[in-house]
Copies of this chain bind each other. A is one copy, B any other.
Amino acid sequence: MLEDLKEKVLEANLALVKYELVTLTWGNVSGIDRNENLMVIKPSGVDYDTMTLDDLVVVNLEGKVVEGNRRPSSDTPTHVELYKSFTSIGGITHSHSQYATIFAQACKEIPCLGTTHADHFHGTVPVTKFLTEDEVNSNYELNTGKVILDRFNNLDPDAMPGVLVAGHAPFTWGKTPMDSVKNNLILERIAKMAILSLQLNPNLKNLPEYISNKHYQRKHGPNAYYGQKK
């Protein structure tokens, strides 16, 4: 069942380790089959070292396990919620990568300070509000998805492929599971460079918009000319 997607989800989860985005069993990547409306996700609390295809769990968009002997990631309801609203995405990554998590903990959005940011995240990387006590005590993970969607009310998830959950950590997404991991890695890099750029120059302003637009369009716009023709 969904063997091809499972392989992509496993490979993407292992890339979290390769890119040093996770500690121990923290973090998880999922992928979705839009025809079947089924997602494949990492099991909860299983070591990356020993994880195999058989450990992955298939879940439907009501969040019910359809296949697999493991409990799915405890963050599964957040993934489901995002897949239901962000209909163009094919993969989601959650990690506690250090510098992105620092911004999440500090409840600071990441301003666009350079072209590295502009190349991949179109504008300021947003932070959600804190969940209320009620939102935490009933359906915490589902409500985590809802506060993300609330924050994206006026944002395009294709142009802004990630978010910082206040006091928690980042979620990123992309066309594929691996793309969502790469966006997690990029977010980590721009977060580190942002905190140190602001320390070096506390009066630093955002990159001029005509430059950030240029860089984003160079990679992602209809006339993108970065990379090879597909």
Contacts and interface: CB of A to CB of B under 8 A. Distances in A.
A211 B1 CA distance: 37
Copies assembled: 4
A103 B99 CA distance: 18
A74 B214 CA distance: 13
Interface in A49-72: 70-71
Interface residues of A, number: 61
A198 B227 CA distance: 38
Interface stretch (A33-41, A79-87, A154-162, A184-192): A184-192
A171 to B, nearest CB: 13
A133 interface: yes
Interface string A82-116: 00000000000000101101111111100001111
B104 A114 contact: yes
Given A102-B193, A113-B105, A44 B136 contact: no
- 6 nearest A-B pairs in the assembled complex, by CB-CB distance: A45-B227, A106-B201, A105-B114, A106-B200, A105-B197, A133-B210
